[in-house]
Amino acid sequence: SSISSEVKQLAQKAKENSLKPEDYEGGTFTVSNLGGPFGIKQFCAIINPPQSGILAVGSAEKRVIPSSGPEQFQFASFMSVTLSCDHRVIDGAIGAEWLKAFKGYIEN
User: Is 72 an active-site residue?
Assistant: no
User: Is 23 an active-site residue?
Assistant: no
CB 23 within 8 A of CB 36: no
From the candidates 87, 96, 102, 106, which is the catalytic residue? 87
From the candidates 91, 94, 97, 103, which is the catalytic residue? 91
Look at strands 53-66 and 73-85 and give their pairing: antiparallel
Active-site annotation, residues? 87, 91
